[in-house]
Chains A and B, each alone.
Chain A
């Protein structure tokens, strides 16, 4: 991989001026990577870039505020969260060094699991970019990449890291397979009653582990989240439909005009609750109302961070 070699070289050169560079390393099996925190030369060789680099390294930025010089290896989708945070003035550009590359999409473990039994039964996986060949037990099957990749990759218009300081390898020419999210489209064909029943059933499954919140790069409140606040107490410790729903809706509302749809919340959910449906819906509304796509232009002011007497995209009747 040309890009990987280049990335390593770029990191090697930049590392003396940085406290840490966050990327990915091989995980406990062939199907997993885990975040890598590069602090020394020998850490650089552990870096991997592949279709399992799912974690958004920008999520760790909230722990690194306070003048630390941080390098990040970011996919296109990940880089949008950094831009949005810069727009919100929660980060300083001079503290960041972004290492970019062209991404051809990541695989989704939940889809792999649904197709091949448990994820831990998969013994080998090969991806040529178009097709994925998976071996699990005595089963061997070749499946189109688009059936196993993350939903966000199907609608991705930013396969190349945005606003990066260094770019390695060739740009990805990957095109979005569709402009709209199929899961959301299908969902919206349901009646309101059916949708409500669907969410009630999904919220029953939530265990309130807060993986969705903690994996979200935009959830910057850290230990001051109202879900944990005891005084005042907004949410009961009761893990029931009502309280889970309340938490999930608070989460979505707080991401209005901020969510960059990186999909980390849904990926992190151990119960595989499709909470991206809510995020995509909200982001779609923001696009419709404010013609704003979160985290794509650092010069732009997010719509909910300013007040305009006349919104150019909203037609008001006087």
Chain B
């Protein structure tokens, strides 16, 4: 990977240039919390804090209009109505600038699910193809960071097109994809020179800050071994308030719901984020729900990331280790400790 350099000043120029033909999502201070908003209107990127909201929303927004419809009454025979349907495919080209490697890695989980041999979700695929990720490697770590424990790291390039690393006076930039390489052809980028070695040192130092990694490799088996252990799950979920903060902010949670939202004779079919923490998740039309308790719902969230997903799709954990679910949980529930507790519990069961 060729390593280039861009100064802080030129970074702003670059964003300006990109914003001419892209919606450029940058992390900004939005009422005290950092969220991604389109560049412009005097917004300044905030790059020293991890955004509260995840970069998934550029490609998988909280609400996606799948189609719009309108009912028409036959003036001759008002009993008869016809419906007109209009498909609404997203068109805009976007850049996500300044997401952290963990958040961007989350997109690889989406990719496996929404675009594969069997399925190509047109809404997701179109946005994904039209969105570039310029990711910022970390130079600090938080108490909730655990990317290094889920097969990633503070300079992970998975899902990114370009990886920036903070160095004196600006950033080094490495292209990860061909699209990224094209981006770095812009005149704002100079040869990296000795900045490249500095960037490597930053990456190494950040990785060292994270310390030793707990081994989650047997998590899928361990979690499945305690699948029927209701007492364990009720215990783990006791403090859960059943809100959706963890799942909505998670860079890898992709469950959705589809509803028709009508106003009079017109309306839209909406795809919205769903959350397995809600009693309505998998609630069937009959009124039955196979997940009857918050313990069973929490099990779904943890198992999906640490067991079902790796079992279904090439062994990768569907957790990117960003720690948003821990940090934003009103009851400070820690997914790391739940999986660790399952590992301990299953080991205990085995030894009996």
| Residues in A199-231 with C-beta less than 8 Å from chain B | 201-202, 205, 207-211, 213-215, 223, 228
Which residues does chain B contribute within 8 Å of A215, judged by CB atoms? 241, 243, 330
Return A197 CB to nearest CB of chain B, in Å: 13
A185, CB-defined interface residue at 8 Å: no
B239, CB-defined interface residue at 8 Å: yes
Q: A59-B241, A60-B239, A121-B140 are in contact. List 19 more A-B contacts (CB 8 A).
A: A34-B333, A35-B238, A110-B32, A118-B50, A120-B144, A137-B140, A205-B30, A207-B53, A209-B248, A210-B243, A211-B245, A214-B330, A236-B261, A237-B257, A268-B241, A270-B328, A271-B33, A271-B52, A273-B31
Cβ-defined contact, B144 with A214, below 8 A: no
A144, CB-defined interface residue at 8 Å: no
Which residues does chain A contribute within 8 Å of B261, judged by CB atoms? 236-238
Which stretch, B90-98, B176-184, B275-283, B310-318, touches the partner chain A? Answer: B275-283
Cβ-defined contact, B145 with A120, below 8 A: yes
Which residues does chain B contribute within 8 Å of A33, judged by CB atoms? 332
For A, the interface residue count at a CB cutoff of 8 angstroms equals 45
Interface of B is mostly: loop
* Contact status of A207 and B279, CB under 8 A, knowing A34-B332, A272-B33: no
Which residues does chain B contribute within 8 Å of A238, judged by CB atoms? 63, 261, 270, 272
Cβ-defined contact, B238 with A37, below 8 A: yes
Q: Which of A137, A211, A268 has the most CB of B within 10 A?
A: A211
Q: Which residue of B lies closest to A208 (CB)?
A: B244
List chain B positions with a Cβ less than 8 A from chain A.
30-33, 35, 48-50, 52-53, 62-63, 140-145, 235, 238-239, 241-245, 248-249, 257, 259, 261, 270, 272, 275, 278-280, 323, 326-328, 330-334, 336-337
What are 8 inter-chain pairs, A to B, with CB distance below 8 A? A29-B144, A35-B238, A118-B142, A120-B141, A215-B243, A237-B270, A240-B63, A271-B33
C-alpha spacing A178/B50, complex, angstroms: 35
A267, CB-defined interface residue at 8 Å: yes
* Contact status of A121 and B142, CB under 8 A, knowing A209-B244, A238-B261, A238-B270: yes
Q: Which residue of B lies closest to A240 (CB)?
A: B63
Q: Which residue of A lies closest to B140 (CB)?
A: A121
Cβ-defined contact, B48 with A267, below 8 A: no
Which residues does chain B contribute within 8 Å of A37, judged by CB atoms? 235, 238-239
